[in-house]
Amino acid sequence: MAEWNWTLEEARQLDREDALAAFRERFYLLPDTIYMDGNSLGLCSRDAEQAVLKALEEWKTLGIDGWTDASPPWFYLAEELGKREADLVGGKPEEVIVTGSTTVNLHQLVATFYRPEGKRTKILADELNFPSDIYALQSQVLLKGLNPEEHLVQVKSRDGRTIDEDDIIATMTDEIALILLPAVLYRSGQLLDMERLTKEAHRRGIVIGFDCCHSIGSVPHRFSEWGTDFAFWCNYKYLNAGPGSVGGLYVNERHFGTRPGLSGWFGYNKDRQFDMVHEFEPAGTAGAWQIGTTHLLSSAPLLGSLQIFAEAGMERLRAKSLHQTEYLMGLIDAMPESLGYRIGNPREDDRRGGHVSLEHEEAVRICKALKARRIIPDYRSPNVIRLAPIALYTSYEEVWRTAQALREIIENREYEAFETGRNVVA
C-alpha cells in the first residue's frame, strides 16, 4: 500500500496531481453532495445530455427519415454503439451490440447456448450472484422441462463474501452444459479471474459467459483474446448512460451464424431486413442477437458517455479506480478497530472491482446517517455499505470526507437517530 498521511491537505494534493480531474467538470454533480453510488447509477454528464437533446431534435426535424438521415442513422445505431463499446470489453467491433436490457440479454444468450443433451443438462452459477440472474436461469431450466433444484448448480461461498475460482473449476463436471458467472460480485466487489475460468471451461467443452454489470467501465476485459463465449451488461452504472438505459452484449465471432434462442426482426441480416420474408436470416455479427427495434432515447445518452470514455482511456480509469479504492481502504484501516468497520472486498488489485464493500452491524443506520450528511452510499443486505469512488468524477477530497463522516457517525453515535429498517429501494 502507498505511503499516505491521511490528511485533508494530502487529499487535495492528490486532486491537484490527478491527470483525470478535468473530466469531473463534464458531469452534473449533485449540489453540496458527495456521490459514492456510481456503481449503482452513474451521474449525468453534459455529453450525455447533449446527445439526448440531439436525438430529440433529429426526431423533431427528420421524423421517420431519422432512421437513415440522423447522425448516426438510427437504423445502425446499435451497431455503431457496439463498435464504440468494443474496446471496453476487449471485443472486436462486430462482436458487440448495444441492445435490450440486462436480463433480456441474459435470457437471449442462455436461450441460445443452453442446450441440455445427454449427461450435460446443468447450468453452473454461484450462490452470491444478483437475484435477477438466478431468476432468469431458473426460468431457462424450466423452459427446457427440467427442475432448477437439480439442474441449476450454484457454487457455494466459503466466507459469504467471495467465490473461490478453485471451487468453480471443481464443479465443472461433465454434467455442466453452460456456465454463467458475474465478472464482479455485486456485494463484495470481488473480480473473478475470467481468463482462467474461460480456459478451464473450454478444456472441458463447456460454454461460459459473464455478467459484466459491475465491471464494464471500471475493469478492462479481453474477451476476444480469452475466447469467452458471451457476456452482457447494463450501461447505467460506471458507463453513466442513465437510469434503465439500453444494455449491451458480446458474442464471440466463432458463434456467428448460430440462430439466436430468441429471434426478432432487428436481428435479421441488415441488408435484407425490410424484405419482410418469414424465413429468418440472422445478421452475420453480434447484431443477430437483437430482438426488437433500437430504443433511441435510452440509447442516445450512451453516445455522449462513450465519448468521455474514449478520451479518458480505460487503462487510466482503471489505474485511478484502484488508487482511489486503495486510498479509501487505507483511510478505513487507519480508524480504531472499536468503530466496528470491516473491509469485505478482496484487497489485491487483480481481485478487486470498482467499489469498496464496507461491513458493519449497523450498516442500515450508517447509510441513513451518511445520507443525512448528503453523502450518498449504497446499502446491500445484510450488512454492506458499498462505496464507489468513480474515476471520472469523484475527488480524493470527497473520499477523505466520506471516511471522516464514517468515523464521526460512530464516534458521535449519529446512527442511533435512525430506524434499522431499510428503505424499499436500498
**Can you list the domains of the chain with their CATH numbers?**
8-32+313-411 (3.90.1150.10), 50-311 (3.40.640.10)
What percentage of the chain has pLDDT greater than the value 70?
A: 99
pLDDT, position 5: 87
What does the pLDDT read at residue 3?
74
Which whole-number Å values give the CA distances from 218 to 46, 75, 89, 231, in the listed order?
20, 29, 10, 15
**How many alpha carbons lie under 13 Å from residue 258 in its C-beta half-sphere?**
21
**Confidence band of 2 (pLDDT split at 50, 70, 90):** low
Output the pLDDT for position 83. Answer: 98
Q: What is the pTM (predicted TM-score) of this model?
A: 0.96
How far is residue 217's CA from residue 185's CA, in Å, rounded to a whole number? 15
For residue 108, pLDDT beyond 80: yes
Alpha carbon distances (Å) from 99 to 37, 38, 291:
24, 22, 8
- Whether 424 shows a pLDDT value over 70: the answer reads no
Considering the chain, what is the average pLDDT of its residues? 96
Contacts of 10 (CB under 8 A, 6+ apart): 4, 400
Residue 114 is labelled as binding a ligand:
no
Q: Whole-angstrom Cα distance, residue 187 to residue 356?
A: 9
Mean pLDDT for 150-161 is 97
Residue 119: its pLDDT value, please?
A: 96
CB 352 within 8 A of CB 214: no
Mean of pLDDT values over 128-134: 97
pLDDT for 190 equals: 98
pLDDT for the residue 201: 98
Residue 126 assigned to a binding site: no
Are 234 and 102 in contact, with CB atoms under 8 Å apart? yes
Please tell me the distance from the alpha carbon of residue 377 to that of residue 260, in angstroms, as a whole number.
Answer: 39
Q: Is the pLDDT of residue 425 over 70?
A: no
pLDDT for position 353: 98
Q: What percent of the chain has pLDDT over 90?
A: 96
Name the phi and psi angles at 100, rounded to 5: 60, -150
Cell 451518511 locates to 370
103 is in an annotated binding site: yes
* CA atoms of 366 and 192, how far apart (whole Å): 29
Q: How confident is the model at residue 420 (pLDDT cuts 50, 70, 90)?
A: confident
Rounded mean pLDDT of 185-200? Answer: 98
Average pLDDT of 131-148?
98
**What does the H/E/C string look like for the chain?**
CCCCCCCHHHHHHHHHCCCCHHHHHHECCCCCCEECECCCCCCCEHHHHHHHHHHHHHHHHHHHHHHHHCCCCHHHHHHHHHHHHHHHHCCCHHHEEECCCHHHHHHHHHHHHCCCECCECEEEEECCCCHHHHHHHHHHHHHCCCCHHHHEEEECCCCCCCCCHHHHHHCCCCCEEEEEEECECCCCCEECCHHHHHHHHHHCCCEEEEECCCCCCCCCCCHHHHCCCEEEECCCCCCCCCCCCCCEEEECHHHCCCCCCCCCHHHECHHHHHHCCCCCCECCCHHHHCCCCCCHHHHHHHHHHHHHHHHHCHHHHHHHHHHHHHHHHHHHHCCCHHHCCEECCCCCHHHECCCEEEECCCHHHHHHHHHHCCEECEEECCCEEEEECCCCCCCHHHHHHHHHHHHHHHHCCHHHHCCCCCCCCC
174 labeled binding residue: no
Task: Give 37-96 pLDDT, tens digit per residue.
Answer: 999 999 999 999 999 999 999 999 999 999 999 999 999 999 999 999 999 999 999 999
Query: What are 265-282's pLDDT values in tens digits?
Result: 999 999 998 888 999 999
Q: How far apart are CA 362 and CA 370, in angstroms?
A: 12
Tell me the average pLDDT across 332-336. Answer: 97
Q: Is 131 labeled as ligand-binding?
A: yes
pLDDT per residue as tens digits for the range 282-332: 999 999 999 999 999 999 999 999 999 999 999 999 999 999 999 999 999
**Binding residue per annotation — 102?**
yes
Dig out the grid coordinates for 420 from the structure.
434499522
Other C-beta atoms within 10 Å of 10: how many? 15
Q: Inform me whether the pLDDT recorded for 1 exceeds 70.
A: no
Q: Does 236 show up as a binding residue in the annotation? A: yes
